[in-house]
Amino acid sequence: MTQAEINCYRAAASLGIIEDEMNPIFIFNGLRPELLIDIISGKIDAQEMARMEMRARGLDEKTGRWIGWRAQETRTEPA
């Protein structure tokens, strides 16, 4: 994400144009510094964690559409 994009998201947040839950600049706000360090250092793969959450919700990783838990169980890893 470029600085210009960050500035746009900040402006959108301050004007109430985008919900905080949909604003990517707030994605890590609730995380403790130890987890952020583990993400930065590569100990935690944030993309894999997002994939795991999508599977747990029964959602397709590419479209976000509901596929159910059975459909995602039959997929081979990695997705």
- List pLDDT tens digits, range 17-53: 999 999 999 999 999 999 999 999 999 999 999 999 9
Rounded Cα distance between 79 and 70, Å, is 15
Using a 10 angstrom Cβ sphere, with 0-12 exposed, 13-18 middle and 19 or more buried, the burial of residue 23 is middle
The pTM (predicted TM-score) of the whole model is 0.72
Give the pLDDT confidence score for residue 70 in this predicted structure: 73
Rounded Cα distance between 29 and 27, Å, is 6
